[in-house]
Amino acid sequence: MKDLITSILLIIALLTGGGMALKSLHNTIREAALEKASQGLPSLTELHRSLKAEPKERR
């Protein structure tokens, strides 16, 4: 009986700790993404023009 209670407590501790670790990882990735987004994205005008341009002939 004592082993069963110990096992259950261990499983609960592992599940809770794993959940907290995943939440921490999620928060870290979210903060990094928000920081990158706050810096702004480069203009896509040049890329758009290069994709729409006629391909040059090769000699």
* Counted domains in the chain: 1
CA–CA separation, 48 and 7 (whole Å): 60
How much is the pLDDT for 59? 60
Q: Is residue 31 part of a domain?
A: yes
Distances (CA, A) of 54 to 24, 49, 59: 49, 10, 16
The DSSP call for residue 53 is S
> For residue 20, what are the domain limits?
2-52
Query: Considering the chain, what is the average pLDDT of its residues?
Result: 82
pLDDT tens by residue, 6-27: 888 888 888 888 778 888 889 9
Q: Is residue 32 part of a domain?
A: yes
Q: Is residue 16 part of a domain?
A: yes
Q: Is residue 58 part of a domain?
A: no
CA–CA separation, 51 and 44 (whole Å): 11
Q: Is residue 29 part of a domain?
A: yes
Q: Is residue 59 part of a domain?
A: no
